[in-house]
Amino acid sequence: MTASAQPSTTPVHLKRELGLFSAVNFIISVSIGSGIFITPTSVLEYSKSVGMCILVWSLSGVISLLGALTYAELSTLVPRSGSDYVYFITSFRQFHKFWARLPSFLYSLVMVTVIRPASIAVVLLTFSEYISSPILTAFCITDPVTIAKTKTNIAILALGAITYINTASVKLYVLIQNIFSCFKVIACLIVVGGGIYEIAIGNSENLQGGFQGTTSSPKDIALAFYSGLWAFEGWSMVTSITEEIKRPEVNILRSIIIAVPLVTILYVFMNISYMTLLTKDEMINSSAVAVDFGQLVLGKFAIIIPLSVAFSTFSCSLSLQFGITRLLYVSGQDGLMLKSLSYVHHKKLTPSPAVAFEGIITLIFILTEDITKLIQFVSFLKLIFYCLAMVSLLILKRTRKDVPRLYKVPLVLPIFMILIFIYLMLTPIFMQPTMKYLIAIGIMVIGTVFYYLFIYKNMKPKIFLKALNGYIQILFEAVPTEDIDTVNDD
């Protein structure tokens, strides 16, 4: 080990680099990805009417805001990075030792190895789709194999870029994220402005159907809300970076109150804008709604839309990777993941081993076919974790009722959210059971077996892990961080 990589006697931990503006942009960045530009059609397809579609988007925003407010209180009760993970491990540790850390382990395992890297891979492949299109057209490339390889290579280069940024400096990440998020909001406002113009000149015929033809199927309504809520996924992620936000006890709540309503307004008015020129069938069958809309409204300036999608997807993937590495950081501290994944670079103060690990897993998904199907297998598991987060809040409201905090949500709110999540989770399963739900349950069972053997029974290859941790420490010039309220049940 070089001298520079030797552990210091000075405590090392992540620095608080994100102010209110950056926290707001973080939520916007992970919420607004490619979906609202490309295929905001699932809600319309399941709801069956324009009026119900707009209502679902609006209510999805309200539900997301209510859920985010409960997470804001959780962040004051447990002021650590890691979001659901730290809430589970703090609230359930008073129960039997076996159950105390199982939810946290399953959450970190599923998020770190499947859901998040697969999501990043999908977003990066969308980025490559829009970046490669003008290049392939300019060089008149039509060979399907060459096109596929080009898109994959561009996605890999983009992955290398976001991995470098998140490894190099938190300040660099914040700068790029803020710039790209501003471009993203401007692009959304261009679409909204185009819609307002079309309504002003009388193009509102497609909006006059109202609730005519609205579905009466509970399954379709649940799936419509499922699609809407998926587009708002970023509402819970700001608490994953609590330890890097300045004055988190104030700025987490403020960022949620600003960002989630802003995203809701943009989503609702962008959908209305699309509907001014595109019929219901055209929207449902379109592979890129915003691009089709841009060609009709912007004419020769329509290139703005695909460029906006590229900015949006790059920014989204950058922030998704930033957030998930903080989960690895805290789970490594607590011994539920590899210890060295909680180490930070001794000078840059970034969790470089965790960033590299997520980069490798994401690369595997980029090279894998049918990633979106894999995400569908496990995405409904997030509803289980949301339910557990609400249960955690109910527990902590009782066990930590004397902890000082600036605000509290009413007790009825987490109970209400639990009922919503249970409805959204169980309705599609009972009304249209498919193999993906069985596979998702299988993943949880396998994860429980791993937990029993390697965490609960502590049957770890200790000599190998010690050597591996040492190798990673030398390779990344990383050092252990200062433990902050680390839970040790050994």
For residue 105, the domain's CATH number is: 1.20.1740.10
Q: Is residue 309 part of a domain?
A: yes
Which has the closest alpha carbon to 320: 368, 359, 378?
Answer: 359
Phi, psi of 479 (to 5 degrees): -130, 155
Q: Determine the average pLDDT of the residues in 141-150.
A: 87
Give the helix ranges, DSSP H, for 432-489: 435-450, 462-476
Evaluate if residue 487 carries a pLDDT over 60: no
Q: Is residue 2 part of a domain?
A: no
Evaluate if residue 6 carries a pLDDT over 90: no
Evaluate if residue 255 carries a pLDDT over 70: yes
Q: Determine the average pLDDT of the residues in 371-379.
A: 63
Evaluate if residue 94 carries a pLDDT over 90: no
Neighbours of 263 (CB within 10 A): 24
Q: Is residue 404 part of a domain?
A: yes
Residue with tokens 């802003």: 262
Neighbours of 101 (CB within 10 A): 24
Nearby residues of 445 by Cβ (< 8 Å), 6 or more positions away:
none
- Whether residue 68 contacts residue 264, with contact meaning beta carbons closer than 8 Å, is answered with no
pLDDT tens sequence across 268-288: 999 999 999 998 888 888 877
Q: Is residue 13 part of a domain?
A: no
Q: Is residue 10 part of a domain?
A: no
Judged on CB neighbours under 10 Å (0-12, 13-18, 19+), 217 is: middle
pLDDT, residue 456, reads 92
Token duo for residue 30: 């992970």
Tell me the chain's radius of gyration from C-alpha atoms. 23
DSSP state of 347: T
* pLDDT tier, 381 (very low <50, low <70, confident <90, very high otherwise): confident
pLDDT, residue 142, reads 82
Residue with tokens 């002003």: 200
The alpha carbon of 351 is separated from its chain's Cα centroid by a whole number of angstroms, namely 19
* Sequence letter at residue 116: R
289: left (phi over 0), alpha (psi -120 to 50) or beta: alpha
Phi, psi of 18 (to 5 degrees): -100, 120
The residue segments making up the domain with residue 75 are 20-479
Question: What are the angstrom distances between the C-alpha of 382 and each of 282, 442, 449, 487?
Answer: 31, 15, 20, 24
Q: Domain count of the chain?
A: 1
Q: Is residue 4 part of a domain?
A: no
Q: Is residue 1 part of a domain?
A: no
Q: Is residue 488 part of a domain?
A: no
Which tops the pLDDT comparison, 108 or 368?
Answer: 108
Evaluate if residue 116 carries a pLDDT over 70: yes
Question: What are the angstrom distances between the C-alpha of 99 and each of 102, 169, 329?
Answer: 5, 37, 22
